[in-house]
């Protein structure tokens, strides 16, 4: 059974903190992508300049003066950034949606599995919801590592409705 209600001020601050962490993570990925672009654009050009003439370098696919090089490199870096975001469970846009709607959910379910992610800075819980369709849902504890929860335990989870970021979790 799911109940939806409005968030308290403390829960709003918890979501804002999670949003800051996610924003920091995204900025890290973008700066990594930009560093990769700079590295990939100028290092091949440097090595080509040692062996080829300037005209041959400009005709090369590895030249930063070639439009196809930038198209390939840009799409590669964009795909890399999105892959990093997906792998690390960044929930930036859904947390922003939670902060505008201010709705929280509450559910009582048994834990199916628990695992640590994001360099053990986040704990994720998989639960199987009862209802019309049995489906598995993933909930995120963004405030570090939780060691005292195990699969099979019955818990009560209070979470942001759209992001499924856990605001409070209690054993029953």
Q: What is the per-residue pLDDT for 115? A: 81
11 & 75 share domain? yes
Number of domains in the chain: 2
* Per-residue pLDDT tens digits for 69-103: 788 778 888 888 777 777 666 677 788 888 888 88
Of 60, 77, 92, which marks where a domain is finished? 92
CATH code for position 125: 2.40.50
Of 72, 92, 112, which marks where a domain is finished? 92
Of 47, 77, 92, which marks where a domain is finished? 92
Supply the DSSP string of the chain, one letter for each residue: -EEEEEPPHHHHHHHHHHHHHHHHHHHHHHHHHHHHHHHHHHHHHHHHHHHS-HHHHHHSTT-TT-HHHHHHHHHHHHHHHHHHHHHTT--HHHHHHHHHH-EEEEEEEEEEEEEEETTTTEEEEEEEE-SSS-EEEEEEE-SS---S--TT-EEEEEEETTT-BEEEEEE-
Report pTM: 0.64
Residues of the chain with pLDDT under 50: 1
């Amino acid at each position: 059974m799911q109940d939806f209600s409005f968030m308290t001020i403390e829960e709003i601050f918890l979501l804002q903190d999670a949003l800051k962490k996610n924003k920091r993570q995204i900025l890290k990925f973008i700066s990594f992508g930009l560093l990769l672009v700079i590295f990939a654009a100028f290092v091949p050009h440097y090595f080509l300049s040692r062996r080829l003439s300037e005209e041959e370098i400009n005709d090369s696919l590895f030249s930063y003066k070639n439009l196809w090089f930038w198209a390939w490199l840009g799409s590669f870096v964009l795909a890399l950034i999105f892959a990093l975001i997906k792998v690390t469970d960044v929930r930036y846009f859904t947390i922003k949606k939670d902060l505008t709607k201010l709705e929280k959910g509450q559910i009582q379910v048994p834990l199916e599995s628990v695992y640590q992610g994001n360099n053990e800075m986040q704990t994720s819980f998989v639960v199987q919801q009862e209802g019309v369709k049995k489906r598995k849902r993933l909930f995120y504890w963004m405030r570090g590592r939780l060691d005292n929860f195990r699969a099979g335990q019955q818990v009560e989870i209070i979470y942001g409705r759209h992001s499924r970021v856990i605001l409070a979790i209690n054993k029953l």
